[in-house]
């Protein structure tokens, strides 16, 4: 089996992403909501009519696209119009996924701007617009990675119980698939671990600096309300698009 479907490897990737996500959220929380950065056109025609947040995200993704970031099966872009890589393509001989076109980043960005930012940041405007949107990119990219890694999780689960999944896929049974991929014990474990880590980082910052206002429970809520559900949506969609039957490589 592809090493990318090995459950230990998947677990390691997801756990490392937790540190990255928690750390990025704490960084963003230094600044106010700064709602103006999410308003399309608020900074005039130089930005082509988009919001400052979208402009910054698109700029960074343009650079990363040239570095072939989005040719990797575990990365999906937020932007639609990205340039070709300047690097030669990697073969990804190891890619265990079926071809798919699943990208929930539009939903993720909306939830992030409208709900996550107001949850973690103080209301109001501190004029730190550039810093805020640079932090936004640093939050959104690993959150997207975490959510879309559901494709690997789903393929791995499929291969462990192909007959069960084949029946659900053939019937287009979305609710059945959602039940089949759900493991509440694992979800509870993720939430507990994320809470412990966020608590440790917050305490560390509180111990060494004089002004930090970040409640670790907020990270747990972000996982519970958005990251875990969107990851499961990706899993269900992936399985439906995947179709029934043996993995390609094994045929």
Of the residues 1, 27, 240, 241, which one makes contact with a copy of itself according to CB under 8 A = 27
According to CB under 8 A, which residues from 224 to 243 bind a copy of itself? none
Is the Cβ of residue 47 or residue 240 nearer to a copy of itself in the bound state? Answer: 47
Is the Cβ of residue 67 or residue 110 nearer to a copy of itself in the bound state? Answer: 67
Residue 95 lies near a copy of itself (rule: CB under 8 A) = no
Q: Determine the size of the site formed for a copy of itself (CB under 8 A).
A: 45
Residue 69 lies near a copy of itself (rule: CB under 8 A) = yes
Is the Cβ of residue 132 or residue 239 nearer to a copy of itself in the bound state? Answer: 132
Residue 79 lies near a copy of itself (rule: CB under 8 A) = no
Which sign does the torsion angle of CA 97, 102, 105, 108 carry? negative
Q: Work out how close the CB of 246 gets to a copy of itself at its nearest, in angstroms, rounded to a whole number.
A: 29
**CA 213 to chain centroid:** 24
Of the residues 32, 66, 224, 225, which one makes contact with a copy of itself according to CB under 8 A = 66
Backbone phi and psi for residue 170, each to the nearest 5 degrees, phi listed first: -60, -35
According to CB under 8 A, which residues from 197 to 216 bind a copy of itself? 197, 200-201, 204-205, 208-211
Query: If you search the block for the tokens 């939903």, which residue do you land on?
Result: 107
- CA angle 241/180/188 to nearest 5° reads 115
Query: Interhelix angle for 150-160 vs 7-28, to 10°?
Result: 160
The H-assigned helical ranges of the chain are 7-28, 52-66, 105-111, 117-120, 129-148, 150-160, 162-170, 174-181, 184-208, 216-222, 228-242
Written as six digits, the tokens of 172 are 């287009």
Q: Environment class of residue 225 by beta-carbon count within 10 Å: exposed (0-12), middle (13-18) or buried (19+)?
A: middle
Residue 130 lies near a copy of itself (rule: CB under 8 A) = yes
Residue ranges in contact with a copy of itself by CB under 8 A = 8, 11-12, 15-16, 19-20, 23, 27, 43-44, 46-47, 52, 55-56, 59-60, 62-64, 66-69, 85-87, 90, 127, 129-131, 133-134, 193, 197, 200-201, 204-205, 208-211
């Amino acid at each position: 089996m592809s090493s990318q479907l090995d459950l230990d490897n998947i677990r390691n990737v997801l756990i490392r992403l937790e540190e990255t996500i928690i750390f990025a959220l704490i960084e963003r929380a230094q600044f106010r909501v700064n709602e103006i950065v999410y308003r399309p056109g608020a900074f005039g025609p130089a930005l082509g009519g988009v919001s400052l947040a979208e402009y910054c995200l698109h700029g960074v993704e343009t650079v990363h696209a040239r570095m072939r970031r989005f040719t990797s099966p575990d990365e999906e872009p937020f932007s639609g119009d990205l340039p070709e890589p300047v690097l030669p393509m990697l073969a990804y001989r190891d890619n265990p996924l079926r071809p798919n076109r699943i990208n929930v980043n539009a939903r993720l960005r909306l939830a992030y701007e409208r709900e996550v930012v107001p949850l973690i940041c103080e209301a109001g405007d501190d004029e730190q617009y550039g810093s805020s949107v640079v932090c936004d990119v640093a939050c959104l990219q690993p959150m997207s990675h975490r959510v879309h890694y559901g494709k690997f999780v789903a393929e791995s689960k499929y291969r462990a119980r192909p007959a069960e999944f084949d029946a659900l896929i053939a019937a287009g049974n979305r609710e059945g698939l959602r039940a089949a991929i759900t493991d509440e014990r694992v979800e509870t474990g993720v939430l507990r671990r994320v809470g412990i880590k966020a608590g440790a980082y917050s305490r560390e910052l509180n111990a060494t600096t004089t002004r930090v206002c970040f409640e670790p429970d907020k990270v747990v809520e972000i996982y519970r309300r958005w990251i875990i559900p969107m990851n499961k949506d990706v899993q269900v969609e992936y399985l439906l698009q995947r179709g029934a039957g043996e993995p390609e490589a094994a045929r």
